[in-house]
Structure 1
Amino acid sequence: TNDGELAHRLMHPTYGVEKTYRVWVQGPVGIKALESLRQGVFLEDGSTAPAKVSRVSGAAMGTNSQSQGHHLEVLEVTIHEGRNRQIRRMFAAIGYPLVKLERIRFGSLTLEPSLAKGNYRALTSEEVGELRSQVRL
């Protein structure tokens, strides 16, 4: 965006804008590990806020040579902070390094599957209005 105040508020944890990620980990991920994420994980720069975590699926085969032959579990994780590499660090802290990570939602915006990686599109005026409303602008 070219709106500096909107960009600042969207990124600042005070405004609680949710970001949802789909993550692939070598699993299966245990209940205790999921509860750790839901309660907050201690990282070197302090504890994270509790995350929302849900299982999407598990797969018996990998999608690349690094994960070939291992059980992959797919989870969706929603946070409202935005620390540097936060999702990767959270999963590493509970013993499940990520195989793959995709952001699928930012605030009220859901990633369009038809949008190629690295591409972008202009937001509609309605979408901008929703985002501004979420951060009280």
Structure 2
Amino acid sequence: MSESNSTKQSTREQFIKYAKKGEILLNQCTKCKNIMLETVYYCDKCFSNSFRQVSYSGRGRVVTYTIQSVAPEGFEDVSSYAWVIFKLDDCDVNVSGFLPGVSTPADLPLGSKIQVIDFHEKHGLILQKY
């Protein structure tokens, strides 16, 4: 875990910058230290709205996923993919992302190791198995 100090970039720009380094930018409540996604506006433990940004490794394990074997309009650039929910290794937070090349459940058993490798404007967090 490391703390983010950049205030000149928007939160979205910072999130993308960290994702491109294989990390996830999260919020930590300054009152109770609870860790949550940076899109949350109030702490789900103490209801504070005071946060500091922290980054964690973008590595985790698959919790669940949906396979899209027929790409919807706008996603013709990939033949099949999974939209993956994964739990980060370093904290108790679930994150979602895009994993190309998955066409059957055998390609992605639950518990598979996943890591963030990039961010794409259309697909969001880009993942790979490791």
TM-score tier (shorter):
under 0.3
Which protein has the bigger strand share? 2
Name whichever structure is richer in helix by fraction.
Answer: 1
Name the TM-score, length of structure 1 as normaliser: 0.27
TM-score, normalising length: structure 2: 0.28
Which structure has the higher relative contact order (CA within 8 Å, separation 6+)? Answer: 1
Q: Which has the larger radius of gyration?
A: 1
